[in-house]
A = this chain, B = another copy of it.
Amino acid sequence: MKTYRKELWFETRTRRAFINITPKVEECLAESGIREGLCLVSAMHITASVFINDDESGLHRDFEAWLEKLAPEKPYSQYAHNGAEDNADAHLKRSVMGREVVAAVSDGRLDFGPWEQIFYGEFDGRRRKRVLVKIIGE
């Protein structure tokens, strides 16, 4: 069995952002030399997500508006977690979108449908944060 590990770093200029990280994960996979197995991509921070969806800017605006409706950022005082921090909404938003993705690796490639793209979802940005890529297989 082979294993591979890499951290990807991000620092967004806005509080919230969606970044397509598929090419970076594909680079990891090529570097790993693994041709059959599973690839875990997970947010190492609890106010960020890794998820799979469409790379379409209208949809990303819909996600932003929808998550703000389900778990609004403001007023900060509505959340018990806020005080020293102001990011309770980011913890909730990340819960909706998910922490991690597990992708199949088949024949040396991410085994995806035609529109599947991996995104880093940032909900409390403007600082350096990490995503873990762990691949196991052979």
Contact = CB atoms under 8 A, between A and B. Distances in A.
A138 B1 contact: yes
Size bracket of the A interface: 35 or more
Given A63-B92, A134-B106, A138-B1, A115 B37 contact: no
Contacts of A21: none
A53 B46 contact: yes
Interface string A21-43: 00000000000000011101011
State the oligomeric state as a number of copies: 3
B38 A104 contact: no
Nearest to A99: B52
A37 B102 contact: no
A68 interface: no
A73 to B, nearest CB: 13
13 contacts: A1-B138, A38-B38, A46-B115, A51-B95, A58-B79, A58-B80, A58-B82, A59-B79, A59-B91, A61-B81, A98-B98, A102-B102, A111-B132
7 nearest A-B pairs in the assembled complex, by CB-CB distance: A44-B113, A104-B134, A58-B80, A59-B81, A58-B81, A3-B36, A61-B80
